[in-house]
Each structure stands twice: as C-alpha cells, then as structure tokens.
Structure 1
Amino acid sequence: MSGSTQIYRQLFSFLRQHSHYRDLRHLMTLGWMVSALICSERLCLSAWESYVPCRAKKAQSVERRWQRFLCNPLIDVHKLYVPLVLLALKNWRTHRLYLAMDTTVLWNEYCMIHVSVVCCGRAVPLLWKVLEHKSAAVAFEEYQPLLRQARWLLRQHPDVMLLADRGFANHQLMSWLQQSRWHYCLRIPCDVLLHGPRQCPREVRRLWPSKGEALLYRNVGLWDDGLYRCNLVLANIRGVKEPWAVITDESPSLQTLWQYALRFRVEELFLDSKSGVFELEESKIRCADALERLYLIAAVALLYSTAQGMAVHIKGLRQQVDPHWHRGISYLKIGLRWLKGVVHKGRELLMPVPLFTKDPQPCFASKKLKETLQQNLVLSYPLSTVQSFMSYGIQRSVRQSGL
C-alpha cells in the first residue's frame, strides 16, 4: 500500500466516523483531496493528479472531479469539518478556550472571515465565511452568524474568551458579548471616546502613557453615549509601532495584554494558508462559495497535520523531522514533514491525538528570535513578576488610574 493511500484511508475513516455525513462519495473525494494537498502542499487542482490513483487517463478528467466537488451546493462545509475540530478539542472543557476572530483579503476581491482556536503558538480553524468584498472591514451582520454558531458548538465549554482587532469593536458586538457571557479582549481605535466618573469624555489618543508604561482603568464608558462599560488597558510598548488600547470584561492587568497578544496567532494561520504552506493565493477559484469549500480542504489538512505533529512529539520522534535541538518549527510543519516521510520513506503513520491544552515545548526557531520575542511584546508567557515586566517592554511603573 502506498503512503498516500495510507493517509487517505486514515482520513476517510475519521471523516466517516465523526462527520455524520451520509454521502460517502463526498467523503471519499474530500479524503483524496486532503491527501493530495498534504503531499503537494499546493491548493491547486491541477497539482493533485499524480497523488490520486484513479481510472481516469486524462488529467482534465481528474481535475473536473475536484471542480464538481467545489461547485456542488449540497456540500455542507461545517457538517463535514466541525465534528472533527470538536473531537480535537475534547480535552479543553476544563481549560480556557481563546477564539481569535479576524479577516483576510484574497486578490482584493474576496474577504474571508475566520473564527479560530488559539493552540500552542498557532491557530486552528473553527469556522469561516467568504464574502465578495474588497475590504477587510466587514459589518457585524456578516460575522454574527459565525459567532452564534460558535456559541452553540462550544456550549459545553464554560470558559471562552474572544480576541479581536480594532475593526470589530462596535456597539453590536459588545451587546452580543454581554448576552453570550463570553469573556473578551478587544483592541479599540485611538479615536474612541472614553467616559470616566469625574471628567468629560476624552479620546483614547489623549491618554497614551509614556514609552514602556501601561495604564489600567476600571469601569470606563465607551463611545459617544458611554452606554457600554468595561475595563481598559493602555500600553505603550517598546518595539511596537502603535500603542495598544485593549478593553476587557475582566480585571485589567498586564495579563490582559498577554491575552490580547494571542490574537496574532491567527496571522500565522493566514500565512500558512495563503503562502507559507498551502499557497491558497495560487488557486484559480474565483467564487465565494467555491472558496469556502476549497478552504475546507485546507482546514482539514491543517487540523490533521497539526494533530499528527503532536503525535510525533508524544512518541519522541520530533528530531527526525525537526533539525533544532529544541522545537523550532510548528506542530503543523512537524506533522507535514512526518506525513511526507510516510509517503516517501515508509515511516509509520501515527494515530492523530487531541490538541494539546498546554504546549509542552514552546517553539523558537533560533536563540536570536527568542531574545527578540522576550524584548518586545510578542508574548509567549503570562506576565506575573517585576522581572518579566521589564523583559517584555513594560517598566515597573504600571499605574492604575481613573479618568
């Protein structure tokens, strides 16, 4: 049995067992597409022919098979994928779940909205939606269905925190978060008006602290009406271009900055999807619905390869594919390299494991990068001591103030 066939059979087994999907033809096609993507690392339909055994003698016939899948309106993307990611998160019910929400633009034509789970230095897709929209800024009505679906899917997880950038901070989202009882860390723009107990409203930009300092505010009103109350952390961090203004429903502290910094893990996900690993931007697909189904293939490959990489780490086999003495590449790339070894070197195909709730070995590609991350606010660990405040660009003079 060839290595690609082994990968396909394991994928098909998981899809058939956990996806609750009745049409086996769709599962078989998806399994072969994911297997071919792992082997080729290209989200390009014409690049998969050599990795899929079939009776067709023309490459065009094989490619049409993939096109029929992408253009089929009966394909339920979330019904196929969501059971797999929930299975991978089965050990997280007693741990806080960080959800990062962000958007990315493809070819200046399509906007993809992501809701992802932050895990071990990366983000794993949970839900996504593609719009024919040229801007990364989207209205609340566009991503509200994703949030509602995520709340229903994660109803067994009592501790969920939403992380999002400035483009998502608005009245509608704040109202929804208050009703959902999710925690949140959101960055707000510098022109937002703040309402304190004693003074007239002031813009965020007029309150920035000095370089290397942070200000903590409690029970601050937002926007013109001051209706929504929250806690606020203002930080001016060395090595970061712009100061941060982060609102949260929890007690304000430097831990708030560490939590918000987890949002940047989704940038690594975009890099892996678009150019770093799977080259989504090389796809010739120009249809929002077809792009959602195409990303389904990438999402399954990302989840499966990450789980395979974690299994490699548990087995103590990481150094066979990672040249660093300590872990220097992501679990995704560890898994992809191992799976390619299954195809080309006859390695054993491991059983994927649930996603780690705590990273047993944080990833640093080099000592120089590790020192840089410690000096700036690309945070990897919670801030709890005076020494860590200094090493992450925040001085000891953290002031708790009132407006």
Structure 2
Amino acid sequence: MRNTTPSRKRAILPPAVQRRLDAIQHFLPHLTLSQQRTLALWCFGIQLARSHSLTLVSLLLAPLCKCHANAMRKRLKTWYAQTRRTKRPLKVQSCFAALLRWITTDWSAPTLLLAMDTTTIRNRWIILTVSVLYKKRAIPVAWRVLAWDKQEWNPIWKQLLRALAPAFPPGVRVLVYADRGLYSPELFVYLQQLGVHPMMRVNGDGGVLVEGSTEWQVLQELVPCPGTHWKGRCRVFKTNSLDCTVLAIWAVGMREAWIVLTDLPPCEASAVWYRYRSWIEQGFRDLKRLGWSCHRTLVRDAERLERVWLALAVATLWVLWYGTDAASAHRVWGALWSRKRCVVSVFRRGWLLVWLEILACVEGLCCGWFPDPLEPVEDGGGRV
C-alpha cells in the first residue's frame, strides 16, 4: 500500500507563499534565504489563521506545504526563538528602513504620514511603534518591545526614527504625529534635524507668546469655546521654550480642543490634519482583536516578540497592499463604497482577497499604494 504520510523533506512552497517570498527577497534582500522563506510562511499563515498562534499557523501550513505539522512548528519557532548558537541571528532593526522603502517605492502622494504611539500587551509589554498611516489603517515600520516598567523613551524613539531616516523618500513631505503623552521639545527638534515635520499635540494649560505680542497667555485661550480655531507663529512654554507654529481647533462636538505644534508655516498646515493620527489606534486593533490576535501572545521574551512583530508587520503590509489593488477597488469592490464612508475597510478587503487568492479565484493581483490626499488648508476650521 502506498505511503501517504507527508514527506519530511524540505517544505514545498505553495504559489501564494512563493509570491510573498519573491516580494520579501526584493525588499528585504539582506535576510538569509532561510529567514526569507520562513518569514513568507509566517506572513501567509498569519493571514490564513487570522492569528499568530504558532500551533494554529503550523497546522494550517503543514498540509499546504506537504510536510509534518511538528516539522513546520519547529521551523516557525526557530525563526523567532533564536539562541546564542544561531549563526546569523535575525536583527529586526535592520528591517525597519526596508519596510518603509517597500511602502514608499510606489508612493503616489506628495505627503507621507507617520505616527508614533505605544500599545500594551497583557500588562507585561509596552511596544513603542512608528507606523505609516494609510487609509484609516496603520502599518508598523519600526518598533521596540519594553518590559512593563518606567524607563526613558526619548532615546528609543530617536533610535527608531534614525533607523527609518535613510528610507524617507526624497521629494515627499513627511509628517510625524505624536499625542500629548509623547511630546518633548527634544524630540520635536530631533524630528526637524531628520528633515521631517513634527505634528505633536500638547495640553492646553501651557503658556504661549504669540508672535508680535509681549504678553504670555494660556494655550487654551487661543480657542476658548467650541466652534473656534486659530493658527500662527508662537513661542510656547516658559520653561524649555520652543519657537514653532501652533495649530488649534475646537470643533463643535469635540470634548476638548486640539492644540498641535509643528514647524510648517501656518499657511501650509491645518489643525484638522491631526485627525489622521487616530488611524494608528485602528492599526493596533488590526494587530490585536480585529486582526492577528497579538493581544493573546504567550511569548515571554522581548527580543522574540520583536521578531514576531516583524511577521505581523509584513502580514499587515501585504493585506493593505492587496486591499488597495487598483483594479479590484474599482471593479470588484466599487459597490461597497458609499459617498461618505467606506463600508468595508481596506484591511478586510485585503484579507478577503487573500482567501480568493488561495481559492485560485484571483490571479495576478496588481498591488499598489493609492494614498488619500490631505484635507485642503482652509481659512476656516475644516472638517474634523
């Protein structure tokens, strides 16, 4: 009787995995072939399972690759659970600029939006993340996993931004968003030195000296009530003062005002743009409960979790890459858009197209990036 047990030989890559491997080899050429192949397997397995569970991903990939589930599990685990004996360890930091280049290679907009923020996992880990904002979603391109304790974040933010700096596309204006808890004049100046434009929100209780004035006032007084907005050149904070542009808006329906500091001229920026920062929060939801279930991780080592996040980042990038395929956006999914909002998110569309790819219903997907334009700079407050 013929033996139908899966072979213990090298796993056979399905066409869908091979497509991911081709892209990874093109955009992450510094990785070894083994690292590239396993990253492609992780990416595809995460998308299939909608989870980064090692057991679940192994069980799904094993029959597709015609190998034993235990062999697949060992291979996937070895990729992130490296030891001192590993000859060529995977250095996640070396992938940050490459991930950003992957996104910006076909970038068609004059502006690139980045956001800095933190997320937590199981009250055990704090993950400092820099993400590309794209169509109400976010793609992680640089991160650091820290233990749940107090430590200085600014040096780490600088390391992450410095790693991305070589990949900032020439001729493209880069805006970097940060919420109130991350503001520091040191970080503001460092972003300027990198040639990007900070968009950092601050609390309204600080002092401000409007250009041309001699009297200090409170930032909140620039927008005293809902329905008001203001922007202009100022000096903010009496201690650790900073000369910058202040963008302030308190739209009707908002609980409090947005007060944003930037180095852009007042005529070239709008406080309304700060609404794009919330996209990184949706990106964290995609990484957790709405997508890859990272909030359930059992990984107990920071360096290992950083490698797992590389697989999650590539899986997210690929899904959004598929989700904005030009042909499918206009032909297959055109009816799913209303005039005011998207009925199906770009993340969900991309994930569905992954399954169509598996079922051989879609061939030769033409992936690409089609970012939305920024809100126009207006004299009024604009739409929040």
Same fold (TM over 0.5): yes
Name the counterpart of 2:252. Answer: 238
Give the aligned residue type for 1:6.
P
What SS does structure 1 have at the residue aligned with 2:256? coil
Give the aligned residue type for 2:72.
V
Equivalent residues of 1:112, 1:129 under 8 A apart: yes
The separation in 2 between residues aligned to 1:65 and 1:338, in whole angstroms, is 27
Name the counterpart of 2:8. Answer: none
Q: Rate the CA distance shift 1:128–1:85 in 2: closer, same or farther, 3 A.
A: same
Percent identity for Structure 1 against Structure 2: 21
Q: Deviations over 1:350-399 (max 9, x none)?
A: 3452311447xxxxxxxxxxxxxxxxxxxx8436376x84xx37xxxxxx
Moved more, 297-306 or 83-92: 83-92
Q: Rate the CA distance shift 1:19–1:171 in 2: closer, same or farther, 3 A.
A: same
Matches within 5 A, 1:302-381: 302-311=316-325, 313-314=327-328, 316-319=330-333, 327-343=342-358, 345-358=359-372, 381=375
Moved more, 282-291 or 253-262: 253-262
Name the counterpart of 1:65. Answer: 75
Equivalent residues of 1:187, 1:246 under 8 A apart: yes
- Check if 1:384 corresponds to 2:384: no
Which of 119, 129, 148 is residue 104 of structure 1 equivalent to?
Answer: 119
RMSD: 2.9
Equivalent residues of 1:341, 1:347 under 8 A apart: yes
The separation in 1 between residues aligned to 2:294 and 2:303, in whole angstroms, is 15
Moved more, 21-30 or 36-45: 21-30
Q: Deviations over 1:206-235 (max 9, x none)?
A: 5442211112232x1122246420111222
- Check if 1:265 corresponds to 2:279: yes
Paired positions, count: 363
Give the superposition deviation at 1:246. Answer: 1.0
Name the counterpart of 2:148. Answer: 133
Q: Deviations over 1:324-357 (max 9, x none)?
A: 56742222211110111222x3312434523114
What SS does structure 2 have at the residue aligned with 1:88? helix
The separation in 1 between residues aligned to 2:344 and 2:268, in whole angstroms, is 28
Name the counterpart of 2:10. Answer: none
Give the aligned residue type for 2:174.
V
Which of 148, 168, 172 is residue 182 of structure 2 equivalent to?
Answer: 168
Equivalent residues of 1:87, 1:354 under 8 A apart: no
Give the superposition deviation at 1:93. Answer: 7.4
Matches within 5 A, 1:22-41: 22-41=31-50
Which structure exhibits the higher relative contact order, with contacts defined as CA atoms closer than 8 Å and separated by 6 or more residues? Answer: 1
Q: Rate the CA distance shift 1:161–1:60 in 2: closer, same or farther, 3 A.
A: same
- Check if 1:19 corresponds to 2:34: no
User: What TM-score, normalized to structure 2?
Assistant: 0.84
Give the superposition deviation at 1:157. Answer: 4.3
Give the aligned residue type for 2:45.
A
Q: Structure 1, unaligned stretches of length 5 or more?
A: 360-379, 394-403
The separation in 2 between residues aligned to 1:352 and 1:8, in whole angstroms, is 16
The separation in 2 between residues aligned to 1:93 and 1:39, in whole angstroms, is 30
The separation in 2 between residues aligned to 1:260 and 1:323, in whole angstroms, is 27
Matches within 5 A, 1:258-297: 258-297=272-311
Equivalent residues of 1:99, 1:118 under 8 A apart: yes
The separation in 2 between residues aligned to 1:97 and 1:11, in whole angstroms, is 24
The separation in 1 between residues aligned to 2:231 and 2:100, in whole angstroms, is 36
Give the aligned residue type for 1:133.
W
The separation in 2 between residues aligned to 1:226 and 1:198, in whole angstroms, is 19
Name the counterpart of 2:201. Answer: 187
Name the counterpart of 1:215. Answer: 230
User: What TM-score, normalized to structure 1?
Assistant: 0.80
The separation in 2 between residues aligned to 1:127 and 1:90, in whole angstroms, is 17
Which of 88, 91, 112 is residue 106 of structure 2 equivalent to?
Answer: 91
Q: Deviations over 1:81-117 (max 9, x none)?
A: 6435413312337711121111111112211111112
- Check if 1:251 corresponds to 2:265: yes
Give the superposition deviation at 1:202. Answer: 3.3
What SS does structure 1 have at the residue aligned with 2:245? strand
Q: Structure 2, unaligned stretches of length 5 or more?
A: 1-12, 84-88
Give the aligned residue type for 1:235.
I
The separation in 2 between residues aligned to 1:175 and 1:224, in whole angstroms, is 17
Q: Rate the CA distance shift 1:352–1:289 in 2: closer, same or farther, 3 A.
A: farther
Give the superposition deviation at 1:56. Answer: 5.6
Q: Deviations over 1:298-349 (max 9, x none)?
A: 11111111111222645744339x7556742222211110111222x33124
What SS does structure 1 have at the residue aligned with 2:248? strand
What SS does structure 2 have at the residue aligned with 1:116? strand
- Check if 1:148 corresponds to 2:162: yes
The separation in 1 between residues aligned to 2:165 and 2:32, in whole angstroms, is 27
What SS does structure 1 have at the residue aligned with 2:298? coil
What SS does structure 1 have at the residue aligned with 2:246? strand
Equivalent residues of 1:93, 1:157 under 8 A apart: no
Q: Deviations over 1:68-89 (max 9, x none)?
A: 2112261122445643541331
